[in-house]
Amino acid sequence: MVEPTREHAFSYRDGVLCAEAVSLDALAEEHGTPLFVYSHDTLVSRFHRLRRAFAPLEPLIAYSVKANPSLGVIRSLAREGSGADVVSVGELERALLAGVAPGAIVFSGVGKRRDELEAGLAAGIRCFNVEVAEELELLSQLAVARGVVAPIAFRVNPDVDAKTHRHITVGRKVDKFGVPFEQAVALYRRAAELPGVDPRGIDCHIGSQLTQLDPFRQALARIGELVGTLRAQGLAIEWVDVGGGLGVRYRDETPPTIEAYAEVVRDAVSALGCQAILEPGRILAAPAGVLLTEVLYRKQVGEKRFVIVDAAMTDLPRPALYDARHDVWAVREGTPLIQGDVVGPVCESGDFLAREEQVPDAQVGERICVLGAGAYCRSMTSTYNSRPRAAEVLVRGDEVHLIQRRERLEELWAHERIPEFLGS
């Protein structure tokens, strides 16, 4: 098998696919399958590459926790100087527990509850990215009651089509995110009048898995116009949060390089004299992880061939949600390929990891793995069909660290109760 050019630490050694220096077969024997395997080296090396590309701007790089919220992943990046972009109180607490400094946390999200705003104020985070006019009013009241001032930015919707999958396009007028561009000036004026809030930045995020740079250019151009308008009216804008969204190669995509993306952002933000805040998630985490799974059965119906594995859409939801295509490799080098589907045990036709692809012709008991599974996979898993969630390991060189044990069956119903009237 010819390995495509990728930036990850998964390669064949002595005929066996390894994560850094550790055999995936050995990991399966010790920890079972399905199993998420992350490369520490890939995580930190991609973070450093991003930081180098943006160095002239001296940005705050706030890792998007929703991409992969495992404490071991967040901590790996925090040790290198990363902040965090969070969208819930749960993600906020995860970031703090993993060692992210409160002053390096930005709180995004279109539907922040009162208790979530309270938690952000109590922690003293860097910024609230406000997305609704009513949120601004509530945040002002809560901050005044607490005797603090909350730094804010409005997430402004620039009405730019990111040209990505419809479920991850978030910067058009018809999308639920952000405040309308034409209302932004009035909202900044209102924020400047209110006690307890301090409008200091602008936030803009248009989508995820973008494979073109023009949508970024268009959005940043509109944001630049808005900064000029606000400053002309006496409002100081100190930073521009450019969000995230740069795509990665899963199978045959050709996304821009980190360096090309950085050049577009640098040109736009440096001209404004603002600090940049970045919210990368997928570009750091996706290439750093694989989903390791074992073949249970093989089936052929006419010319249709199925490889049935113990992983499912409950572990890897992206193909079902986004029509996503991932590379699938055999753990044993030299395994031939067949045209077919890799499917799981879940009772849904949408339960597939690969469909009508060239996939490894692995035999029962052998293992295969899905690449690019470090982002939006474990974080989106479910227990549908009462399937326990998979374990996660972080590999550093020849070290293996269990960062999330496999969920036990009894934990699936541990918080459920049968009403007394139904009897025992």
Q: What are the residue boundaries of the structural domains of the chain, listed by start? A: 10-39+287-413, 108-280
Q: Do domains 10-39+287-413 and 108-280 have the same CATH topology?
A: no
Q: How confident is the model at residue 130 (pLDDT cuts 50, 70, 90)?
A: very high
* % helix, strand, coil for the chain, step of 5: 35, 25, 40
| 1 has pLDDT over 90 | no
Q: Which of 403, 400, 399 is nearest to 390 (CA)?
A: 403
Lowest-pLDDT range, 180-194, 200-214, 272-286, 336-350? 200-214
DSSP H or E run through 41: helix 40-53
Length of the chain: 424
Q: Which of 233, 279, 284 is nearest to 126 (CA)?
A: 279
Q: Which of 274, 347, 369, 377 is catalytic?
A: 347
Fold type of domain 10-39+287-413: Lyase, Ornithine Decarboxylase; Chain A, domain 1 (2.40.37)
C-beta atoms surrounding 74 within 10 Å: 24
* Predicted local confidence at residue 169, as pLDDT: 47
User: What is the rounded CA–CA span in Å between residue 55 and residue 52?
Assistant: 5
339 Cβ contact partners less than 8 Å away, ≥ 6 residues apart: 305, 356, 357, 358, 359
Say if domain 108-280 classifies as CATH 3.20.20.10.
yes
The mean of the pLDDT values for the chain is: 92
Annotation marks residue 377 as catalytic: no
* Predicted local confidence at residue 160, as pLDDT: 72
Could you give the 3-state DSSP secondary structure of residue 24? helix
Q: Which of 295, 344, 287 is nearest to 319 (CA)?
A: 344
* Predicted local confidence at residue 181, as pLDDT: 85
What is the pTM (predicted TM-score) of this model?
0.93
What are the b/e assignments for 358-379, b being 16+ CB within 10 Å?
Answer: ebbbbeeebbbbbbbbbbbbbb
